[in-house]
């Protein structure tokens, strides 16, 4: 072990869960490399690490979803081999998944029933569902179908479902990533109550301040191995981050001498009906974005950010050309290709399947957005040399690491692919850049490169719109921040004024001019 266990030795007791040398191998790749971890009753234990550090693999193994290649697990001192999640649940291990394990077209009650082992009647189960959700203050309507619910409500289903198993040990994978700050606070109350009831919690998060506040112990993974176990309260966020990354993280710096110029992107009363049955209607969205400026859009996922991206990019067209003005030209009726020709560039949230075609080579993915406005196509024929040179230039400028010159997009790691996608657009010297979740799910090094690139691009006069669920990210790079809720966009706040509390209220649907503040939160 690298660290002597810093928490009390608890002599004479056995840990609730202990892993010894837990290893998971995929081909030559070690997702988990000999991990030792101890979870004690009445403990909130944080599991920290970058994307790809092996956190998900570890918790999936503990939940019985993945069979370890080597190593052992002990449950209350007894050796444990799990045949599957049913087995884990039977012992008292519950899990709340990051991307949820829900069924959109089934009702809340049916979803809960599927997470239990079906030993009680549907009626008894429904009664217990009501009871548990009342006790923990997590209200749910059992008859509604999941697709109708907000992200916060969906998470509530997952949590109630786990609590109904009366677990001794809960695993929560990034539970606050999708919540407003206020909703997160409510969740912490629930978690502290669970601890006081004697249960243990394994808590995966990226938000280090949150971990310092909530967690008793933290285990840090890097590159599949355990780096350290520590007490987060006696660390700083910076020291925790250093252990996760393994190096000092470069501070992102806004270049000096940035000039705010003329409006480059204007949106006037944009209204758009959803094109999907479960989509959000955009209502009266207006804002102005000048050259050299970065506007951040915060909000809980599913409040119209995807729809706004589609409307701004031209994947969907607005009825009235004047609702979107790019660099002085009415563009609401123009296709995405025409908007690119006006100097706009776009980076969607989803890297694989939206920003790139995963099974196509990088050069072909360069062609994907570059075919309209560069020398890549002549008389309908593809200039392969030009597409390859774009790949080379992007690789060089943004430090894209890859196994060969022109691999398939899907074979790159998340961070490297994101650098390629952002780089591909920046190298086109856009006047307007619309970016969704620029650093979602990428490692800290790549995130720093990307954020710096956005700041540098703004310094060159580009107008940048960044949508992100990560408030820290917006605080770091945005000049102003507005919030999306139910298809509406709030007035923007100067970043310095945009406290977490204010943004959290807006994200929960309250207005800042106090009328009926309390009601809307968490409704």
The residues binding another protein (CB under 8 A) are 26-27, 64-67, 79-90, 97, 99-106, 110, 113-115, 118, 276-278, 313-315, 335-337, 340, 346, 348, 350, 353-360, 364-365, 367-369, 371-372, 377, 380-382, 407-408, 410-411
- Which H or E run contains 27? none
CB of 215 or CB of 344, closer to another protein: 344
- Beta bridge partners, 347, equal 435
Interior CA angle at 295 toward 292 and 297, to 5°? 165
Report phi then psi at 382, rounded to 5.
-85, 135
Task: Provide the Cα torsion 259, 494, 424, 337; round to 10°.
Answer: -90
CA distance 104 to 492: 33
Q: Which is nearer to another protein, 110 or 399 (CB)?
A: 110
CA 355 vs CA 28, 41, 191, 342: distances in Å: 29, 44, 37, 20
CB of 479 vs another protein, minimal distance in Å? 27
Closest approach of another protein to the CB of residue 277, in Å: 3
| CA 334 – CA 516 distance, rounded (Å) | 41
Least Å from the CB of residue 399 to another protein? 20
Taking the complex as a whole, the smallest distance from the CB of residue 12 to another protein amounts, in Å, to 26
Least distance CB 380 / another protein (angstroms): 5
Asked whether the beta carbons of 424 and 370 are under 8 A apart, the reply is yes
Rounded to whole angstroms, the Cα distance separating 83 from 268 reads: 57
CA dihedral sign, ordered 485, 490, 496, 500: negative
Cβ nearer to another protein, comparing 363 with 469: 363
What's the rounded Cα separation, in Å, for the pair 97 and 497?
34
Q: How far apart are CA 259 and CA 290, in angstroms?
A: 10
Task: HSE, CB side, 13 Å, CA atoms: give it for residue 188.
Answer: 16
How would you class 237 by CB atoms within 10 Å of its CB: exposed for 0-12, middle for 13-18, buried for 19 or more? Answer: middle
Which of 442/505 has CB closer to another protein?
Answer: 442
Residues in Cβ contact with 272 at an 8 Å cutoff, skipping those fewer than 6 apart = 281, 282, 307, 311, 316, 318
Cβ 28 to another protein shortest distance, Å: 11
Rounded to a whole number of angstroms, the minimum distance from the CB of residue 338 to another protein is 8
Residue 241 or 376 having the CB closest to another protein: 376
Cβ closer to another protein: 315 or 460? Answer: 315
Cβ distance to another protein smaller for residue 344 or 478 = 344
Q: Which two tokens stand for residue 99?
A: 């991307």
Q: Which of 305, 421, 272 is nearest to 354 (CA)?
A: 421
CB of 60 to another protein, least distance (A): 8
Residue closer to another protein by CB (options 321, 407) is 407
Shorter beta-carbon distance to another protein: residue 263 or 358:
358
Report the nearest approach of another protein to the CB of residue 248 (Å).
Answer: 31
522/519 Cα distance (integer angstroms): 8
Give the shortest CB-476-to-another protein separation in angstroms.
27
> Do 325 and 268 form a contact (C-beta atoms < 8 A)?
yes
Residue number with CB closer to another protein (56 or 510): 56
């Amino acid at each position: 072990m690298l660290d002597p266990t810093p928490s009390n030795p608890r002599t004479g007791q056995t840990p609730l869960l202990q892993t010894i040398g837990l290893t998971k191998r995929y081909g030559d790749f070690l997702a988990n490399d000999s991990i030792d971890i101890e979870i004690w009753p009445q403990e909130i234990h944080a599991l920290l690490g970058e994307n790809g550090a092996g956190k998900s693999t570890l918790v999936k193994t503990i939940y019985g979803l993945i069979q370890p290649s080597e190593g052992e697990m002990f449950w209350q001192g007894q050796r444990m081999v799990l045949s599957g999640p049913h087995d884990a649940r039977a012992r008292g291990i519950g899990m709340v998944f990051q991307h949820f394990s829900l069924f959109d077209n089934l009702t809340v009650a049916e979803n809960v029933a599927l997470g239990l082992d079906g030993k009680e009647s549907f009626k008894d189960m429904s009664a217990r569902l009501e009871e548990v959700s009342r006790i923990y203050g997590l209200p749910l309507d059992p008859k509604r179908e999941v697709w109708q619910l907000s992200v916060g409500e969906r998470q509530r289903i997952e949590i109630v479902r786990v609590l109904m198993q009366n677990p001794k040990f809960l695993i929560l994978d990034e539970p606050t990533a999708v919540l407003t700050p206020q909703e997160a606070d409510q969740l912490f109350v629930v978690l502290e109550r669970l601890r006081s009831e004697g249960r243990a919690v394994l808590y995966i998060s990226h938000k280090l301040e949150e971990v310092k506040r909530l967690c008793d112990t933290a285990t840090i993974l890097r590159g599949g191995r355990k780096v350290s176990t520590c007490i987060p309260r006696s660390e700083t966020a910076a020291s925790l981050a250093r252990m996760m990354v393994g190096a000092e993280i470069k501070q992102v710096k806004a270049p000096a001498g940035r000039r705010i110029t003329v409006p480059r992107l204007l949106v006037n009363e944009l209204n758009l009906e959803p094109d999907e049955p479960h989509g959000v209607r955009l209502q009266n969205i207006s804002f102005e974005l000048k050259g050299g400026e970065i506007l951040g859009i915060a909000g809980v996922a599913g409040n119209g950010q995807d729809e706004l991206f589609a409307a701004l990019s031209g994947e969907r067209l607005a009825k009235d050309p004047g609702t979107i003005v790019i660099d002085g030209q009415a563009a609401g009726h123009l296709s995405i290709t025409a908007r690119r020709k006006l100097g706009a560039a776009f980076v969607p949230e989803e890297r694989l399947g939206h920003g790139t075609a995963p099974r196509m080579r990088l050069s072909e993915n360069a062609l994907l957005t570059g075919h309209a406005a560069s020398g890549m196509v002549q008389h309908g024929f593809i200039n392969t040399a030009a597409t390859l040179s774009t790949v080379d230039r992007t690789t060089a400028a943004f430090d894209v690491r890859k196994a060969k010159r022109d691999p398939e997009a899907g074979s790159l790691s998340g961070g490297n692919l994101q650098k390629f996608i952002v780089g591909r657009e920046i190298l086109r010297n856009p006047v307007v850049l619309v970016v969704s979740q620029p650093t979602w799910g990428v490692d800290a090094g790549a995130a720093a490169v990307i954020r710096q690139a956005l700041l540098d691009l703004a310094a060159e006069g580009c107008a940048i719109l960044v949508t992100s669920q990560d408030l820290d990210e917006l605080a770091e790079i945005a000049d102003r921040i507005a919030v999306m809720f139910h298809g509406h966009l709030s007035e923007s706040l100067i970043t310095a004024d945009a406290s977490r509390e204010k943004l959290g209220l807006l994200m929960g649907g309250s207005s800042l001019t106090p009328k009926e503040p309390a009601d809307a939160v968490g409704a």
